[in-house]
Amino acid sequence: MTDEAMTGERVVPMRLQRFLARAGVASRRGSENLMTAGRVTVNGRVASELGTKVDPLVDEVAVDGVVVRLSEGFAYLMLNKPAGYLTTMSDPHGRPCVASLVPTERHPGLFPVGRLDADTTGLLLFTTNGDLAHRMLHPSTHVWKHYVALVRGIPTKRELAALAAGVTLDDGPTAPARVELLDARDATCRAVAPGRVPKGHAVVGISIHEGRKHQVKLMLDAVGHEVVRLHRDAFGPLVLGDVAEGEWRDLTPAERAELEALL
């Protein structure tokens, strides 16, 4: 028997971490961490015991002082990450983190799905749905990510073909990728070359479905082209579009449905 029962439309006591997960605050494990950290209150009192139960129609649950309700569901949003920000929710050295750019006060359990290097810009997905994040990052799901890279030198057809077939890195060969040399006049190039593409440089579009550390930079370096700037403009079914640098937006219902279809 579950720790939750229904009487007509009434939800009667359930474990607090289950309530938080169903409300979209964080995954079950993440909700437990919030509780043990003393960040969750029930009717104004800190609730750190994992066996705590609540009645959603009677008790007032809050995380960091923000009241949480079941009807809210999971949060999903995309950020256009600027350069210079770490993809983490906190940093012991006080360096800028993406947490300062998204509404953590509204969604206390919000976290980024995957990461971008500090100097990489572009689409970063945030959610409170731990199951979805795990699914999107699991190698078996093959979620494609598209990057635009400004590189030194002009890649040849042979080098592009090598990238597409897969190159060997220190930790083994990469999976095949989708690669193209972009026309300098293409609007896509503006993300990494806002004025014009510098002489002796080129812009490469590359899609991968793996998630190794620094993978795109290492792949391009393996064929002799150092990455000067890197930007991600698509992640799975999501496209960054006209989200301004440093800004975020909630996903549309259609985008949410496309992501949840991966589960």
Q: Which of 52-61, 130-139, 240-249 has the highest mean pLDDT?
A: 240-249
**From the candidates 117, 171, 186, 221, which is the catalytic residue?**
117
What are the tens digits of pLDDT across the range 217-259? 999 999 999 999 999 999 999 999 999 999 999 999 999 999 9
CA separation for the pair 146, 77 (Å, rounded): 18
Give the domain extent around 197: 144-235
Task: Looking at the structure, tell me whether residues 41 and 107 fall in a common domain.
Answer: no
How do 201-208 and 178-182 pair as beta strands? antiparallel
CA separation for the pair 177, 189 (Å, rounded): 19
What are the tens digits of pLDDT across the range 151-191? 999 999 999 999 999 999 999 999 999 999 999 999 999 99
CATH at residue 152: 3.30.70.1560
Q: How many domains does the chain have?
A: 3
Structure-token pair, residue 145: 């990510």
Look up tokens 């750190």; give the residue: 48
Q: Which of 14, 41, 72 is the last residue of a domain?
A: 72
CB 83 within 8 A of CB 230: no
Task: Looking at the structure, tell me whether residues 206 and 250 fall in a common domain.
Answer: no
CATH at residue 125: 3.30.70.580
What are the tens digits of pLDDT across the range 97-119? 999 999 988 888 899 999 999 99
CATH at residue 44: 3.10.290.10
Specify whether the backbone of 45 is left (phi greater than 0), alpha (psi in -120 to 50) or beta.
beta
Q: Which of 17, 39, 72 is the last residue of a domain?
A: 72
Give the global pTM: 0.82
Is 170 one of the catalytic residues?
no
CA separation for the pair 78, 13 (Å, rounded): 34
Task: Looking at the structure, tell me whether residues 151 and 168 fall in a common domain.
Answer: yes
Task: Looking at the structure, tell me whether residues 223 and 187 fall in a common domain.
Answer: yes
Task: Looking at the structure, tell me whether residues 61 and 107 fall in a common domain.
Answer: no
CA separation for the pair 118, 125 (Å, rounded): 15
Task: Looking at the structure, tell me whether residues 50 and 128 fall in a common domain.
Answer: no
Q: In this predicted structure, what is the pLDDT of residue 203?
A: 98
* Residue 135 dihedral angles phi and psi, to the nearest 5°: -65, -45
CB 32 within 8 A of CB 51: no
Q: In this predicted structure, what is the pLDDT of residue 106?
A: 83
Task: Looking at the structure, tell me whether residues 126 and 186 fall in a common domain.
Answer: no
**126 pLDDT exceeds 80?**
yes
Nearest 5°: CA angle at 64, between 107 and 11? Answer: 70
